Structure 1
């Protein structure tokens, strides 16, 4: 099992190390013990092979050996877990709840996260205004963690924890001092546990830019 920068006849994953969408795709692939060829993309210099199979030019994108292309991070996660789900991240009875929570994260929280992180581009309001909306999401997650023994939906990780984690991490790192003085102690613990996990450390290894031969 590996995420290899040099491989053949394997699914090809176009990725960018710091992208939260790509992070969660890599987390699912790695935890599923699947081999893929990792192609690290520089977003300002996207390879022609990526744009050919996915003209929108965003990552992650997974090209399967049979030619099928999976263009959304959640679909890549589902694909990986359908191949192998050793830690039961996708229990069938929780799929609707998982989907609803991830949709709320991606549709609502991400909107405010972008404005908080890039407040200098959104001058209609001060940074604190955008942060307050992010904090509302933190408060919701904190209560879920309290109710579920340190996880979002049950007493262990599910796809929801893994799919939300990169975005919570990104938001917390905008102003880490602020985040650490908030009352969301369970969220802080949950985040640090994931950041320090061997799984996250593995998927965050640096790879050189992939260049076509």
Structure 2
């Protein structure tokens, strides 16, 4: 009699860009897991016990190991299987990708948050919140123009095929673009907009953006199937 092996458990939130990139890597790797969709205003005790940082994504492996950072989840999944070659074949190439991801996760993310949620940062400004947001939009746009320059001559950030860097950065550019879609569409970053549109119209994106009800303890496991 075959006994089913326990699956990794992924705590996720559909719209979170960090969770989005983790799901992308897990799906493309072919790694099956149990998906637990989280309500951010009511985080399950099981997730908090596994990861007191209390943010998604969190991946709990069958041996009890907990992976708490989205980029580490991506690297774990692609180490199991990397059928589309998202990881560079040499350490220098991977370091270049990680440096670009660090710029996204650092300064760009800070400007994005203040552009999208200016009222959360009232302690940082005394003037009009919209003026504050527009200033950070301008700073963020400068970095997006650097991405535009990288996309001249090839469809992805590091050449003709998607890479770890593309998948790690795309959800955050998407969040920026959707904050004011009309303004974003009017900007002079044709290649960047095309890069984003290719990803949003792809089957893999559709797969990882499927909707699931919030997880509750005791329910039947919800399988997160690999990408087709």
TM bracket, shorter-chain basis: over 0.9
Unaligned runs of 5+ in 1: 1-6
Aligned to 1:23: 20
User: Which stretch has the larger CA shift, 167-176 or 121-130?
Assistant: 121-130
Aligned to 2:48: 51
Higher relative contact order (CA 8 A, sep 6+): 2
What is the CA–CA distance in structure 2 between the aligned matches of 1:119 and 1:153, rounded to whole Å? 33
Give the match's secondary structure for 1:87. Answer: coil
Assess if the C-alpha contact under 8 Å between 1:51 and 1:57 holds in 2: yes
In the alignment, structure 1 residue 170 sits paired with structure 2 residue 171: no
Q: Deviations over 1:30-88 (max 9, x none)?
A: 01111000000001111111000101110000000111000000000000000000000
Aligned to 1:153: 158
What is the CA–CA distance in structure 1 between the aligned matches of 2:99 and 2:159, rounded to whole Å? 15
Assess if the C-alpha contact under 8 Å between 1:8 and 1:37 holds in 2: no
Assess if the C-alpha contact under 8 Å between 1:12 and 1:37 holds in 2: yes
Equivalent runs, 1:35-184 vs 2, <5 Å: 35-93=32-90, 94-123=93-122, 124=125, 125-147=131-153, 149-184=154-189
Give the match's secondary structure for 1:173. Answer: helix
Which of structures 1 and 2 has the bigger CA Rg? Answer: 2
What is the CA–CA distance in structure 1 between the aligned matches of 2:204 and 2:35, rounded to whole Å? 16
Assess if the C-alpha contact under 8 Å between 1:27 and 1:203 holds in 2: yes
Give the match's secondary structure for 2:179. Answer: coil
TM-score normalised to the size of structure 1?
A: 0.94
Equivalent runs, 1:3-22 vs 2, <5 Å: 9-22=6-19
Count of aligned pairs: 206
Give the match's secondary structure for 1:166. Answer: helix
TM-score normalised to the size of structure 2?
A: 0.88
Q: Deviations over 1:130-166 (max 9, x none)?
A: 100110111000000114x121012210000000000
Unaligned runs of 5+ in 2: 126-130, 219-228
Give the match's secondary structure for 1:37. Answer: strand
